[in-house]
Chain A
Amino acid sequence: MPDIERVVHAAAARYEHDATQLLQILIAVQDELGYLSPPALTAIATTLNIPRSRVQGVAGFYSFLYTEPVGRYRILFADNITDRMLGAPLLLDELCRKLWLERGKLSEDGLVSIDTTSCTGLCDQGPALLVNGRVVTRVDHRRINRIAELVRRQVPVEDWPAEFFHIDDNICRRDALLGTPFKPGSALIAAMRLGRNDWLQEMHKSKLRGRGGAGFTTAVKWTGCRDAPGQQKVIVCNAYEGEPGTFKDRVLLNSFADHVFEGMTLASWATGAQLGLVYLRGEYRYLWPALHEVLERRRAAGLLGKAILGTPGFDFDIQFHLGAGSYVCGEETALLESLEGKRGTPRIRPPFPVVRGYLGRPTVVNNVETLAKTCLIALQGGSAFAATGTRQSTGTKLLSVSGDCAAPGIYEYPFGVSIAKVLDDCGASDTQAVQVGGASGMMMATYEFHRSIACEDVPSAGAFMVFDSSRDPFEIAHNFVDFFVHESCGFCTPCRLGTTLLKGYMDKIARGYGAKVDLADIDWVNRLLKNASHCGLGTTAPNPVVDTLVKFRPAYERRMQSLDFEPAFDLDAELETARRLTGRADPAAYLNGNNEARP
């Protein structure tokens, strides 16, 4: 039994007893102790000299931090719709049966627990699962059998077969970014030759817009940060990539990390920032060692650190922060809170991060892909960059294609590509719908496939999930609603309650007890989510339901028992406890004499 005090002191010392590193310290302590017990939380609070209530508040916020005992093997099946389509729910049940346990409960011997987690960013090689935080891809019946065996024999995860953890890039179409050879440092040299101001001018000319979802003009952000009062400016790379169906940042970090770090350094050159922070989602933790090596190599080459490339006064270095399972932490102000070691609650804006960001300092938050693209601008010039793509959306976009298609993976296209073209290239047929931009994006029906991916038409952070005619749009929307309930931070009333109520209606409809009045209530809840929510999570949470109700309404109506009226009270469901206590499952124990189709 490791000694709590010793572990806590070691973790706190590693982070110099800095309370803004609370999240990193909690992760480090949990790595050693398995879970964060009440005495462990007290010890952390005492050691860092901060209130215990704050430590408990933060520990409870993140999905991958555990304040209750967990198994020595913690298995989490990715629960994105694409994983479900590949059979994840059946595989989960199978593993539970093999290991004799109930989903979500710790096995009696304390050995293993099995549950689900949000999209892990491996939709092109799913179904995926996490075992003690490590990603296993391409789970099938064989792998389930072998995993059950490894757990039973208590083989440490480090000794599991390496092929379980193998992850492919699956790059299927290359364009300007993925298809051009790149020499680390070359973009930086080009930008430094221009000088700080002219480099920012090139950025303006490029009209580059953020690739993280909001499509904000990057040069405007950089200028705002440069001009904001305050000395210690910060560049943050948003490597959260929590949007279901998105995995292009994973590929960039895996194989194009030099582009990303060089982009951060280019941002530092433009703004004068000296500190760079990368916020990496916990699911991508396996990338950390390789990324660390890239950083070391860049430091050795004089591309990071003091007096970069021998230029006095150009100092910039990069640190890593790990997330711990919370989609909302991809939202830039929640991300900043999380970086400061707090609960990931979005801030009030204004002030915007460029004015008051990380620890109150002027801060640029950019997506991984946005930063990588700035290397192209430094090398080709802003005008050449602006000549590709569309007028309002310049350059190329990486799409993460998954779902019903022959070749899922990464596709790089100039902005303006039509949905039909992408479908054609990835070998999709009999397509019924495409979810563009992830759960918070838009569901496109066949009559919209001529539309193009661009900020001015169908914007996208990169997800492109394909659904053929065998899929049920209601189930897709239901899956996304479950996602939003799980990920709502709970700060504001409309989202905390709106997502919960919405799930209630969707569950009810799924059980076959929906009625027309429910559809009216759904419209009303959706309206509040959209109008009154505090951040983009809440305002976009109703999208999948709104879209499917408009475009695929029969998928809902088919499930309605009566289109006019059905009471919310379900007498038969209320008898469930009595059935369980008496151990009865025979048809006569159900009011309608039929126990099929019961969840």
Chain B
Amino acid sequence: MNREFMLDGLPVAFTEGQTILQAARAAGRYIPSLCWHPDFPPHGSCKLCIVKANGRHVSACALPAREGMEVESDTPEINGERRALLQMLFVEGNHFCPSCEKSGNCQLQAQAYELEMTSARFDYLFPVRPVDASHPDILLDFNRCIFCELCVRASRDVDGKHIFALTERGIHKHLVVNAESGRLSDTDFAADDLAAHICPVGVILHKRVGFQRPIGQRDYDHEPISQVAMEESS
């Protein structure tokens, strides 16, 4: 039996167990997200998917839809909050988009365009995050990590290798690899692991293929992420 909730005043059908975001995507309605991936259980860390459900802020990627729920998503209030979350992510890392190999394919950058973020607003934190170029095929540039843990989850749950993990906590939280030396080359990471292809930003980069597709011709150069995402899911 199909049931319904209201998203920005329009009905969305859902099946039991579907989250608000899943049901919306299935119905062709976009809710911004970063840490959510259709092939994995919800993670709930980026909070870009926040919506108001019956007046309360919730994560659309994690909360199961319920009959008759009134969900607000594409409103100035919520989009303003999403923009501020993006600004926080931008000042947390070192994101020099013009020189980044991921530019145009990066979901963080694409969300910034989508949500019309024009400045970083907050003071940059300028963290020191050394890159790891030890692996023959892969470069890790931690400066851009947004801690979505997709690489952690993909390596653990799909590749069965546990290459990545987070350590420390709070603002000091950072990614480590599965080796006493701390170097990726001392792990069994391989370029065809799922974890090597899942980073939404420019941390996990493949060597020798940089800029093969020129900037200007990439995924989000032509279409906003809200459209690309819907085409992918249909």
Contacts and interface: CB of A to CB of B under 8 A. Distances in A.
A161 interface: no
Interface string B80-91: 010011001101
Contacts of B121: 521
Contacts of B91: 497, 501
Interface in B136-192: 146-147, 156, 162-173, 176-180
A531 interface: yes
A488 interface: yes
B44 A54 contact: no
B64 interface: yes
A533 B57 CA distance: 9
Nearest to B122: A501
Contact of A496 (B57, B165, B170): B170
Contact of A528 (B42, B84, B147, B169): B84
A60 B167 contact: yes
Interface in A457-504: 485-494, 496-501, 504
A296 B107 CA distance: 57
A348 B85 CA distance: 19
B101 interface: no
Contacts of B115: none
A286 interface: no
Contacts of A52: 178-180
B64 A350 contact: yes
Contacts of A500: 125, 170-171
Nearest to B64: A350
B45 interface: yes
A494 B89 contact: no
B171 A51 contact: no
Interface stretch (A35-43, A261-269, A415-423): A35-43
Contacts of B180: 38-39, 41-42, 52
Interface string A28-47: 00000000001101100000
Tell me which of B42, B168, B170 has the highest count of chain A C-beta atoms within 10 A of its own C-beta. B170
Tell me which of B45, B121, B171, B172 has the highest count of chain A C-beta atoms within 10 A of its own C-beta. B171
B47 A59 contact: no
A314 interface: no
Contact of A61 (B64, B85, B169): B169
Tell me which of B121, B169, B177 has the highest count of chain A C-beta atoms within 10 A of its own C-beta. B169
A134 interface: no
Given A53-B164, A53-B165, A568-B123, A492 B64 contact: no
B47 A532 contact: yes
B50 A489 contact: no
A528 B91 CA distance: 16
Nearest to B57: A531
Contacts of A528: 81, 84-85, 88
A534 B43 CA distance: 11
A343 B166 contact: yes
A521 B122 contact: yes
A531 B81 contact: yes
Given A41-B180, A531-B57, A496 B171 contact: yes
A57 B167 contact: yes
Given A52-B180, A61-B169, 15 more contacts: A52-B179, A53-B165, A57-B167, A59-B167, A343-B169, A348-B42, A488-B170, A490-B172, A492-B46, A494-B85, A497-B171, A499-B170, A501-B123, A534-B59, A568-B123
12 contacts: A51-B165, A53-B162, A60-B168, A343-B166, A348-B42, A350-B64, A486-B170, A490-B147, A492-B46, A494-B47, A532-B50, A534-B44
Interface of A: 38-39, 41-42, 51-54, 56-57, 59-61, 326, 343, 348, 350, 485-494, 496-501, 504, 521, 524, 527-528, 531-534, 568
Shortest beta-carbon contacts, A-B, top 6: A60-B167, A51-B162, A53-B165, A497-B88, A490-B173, A57-B165
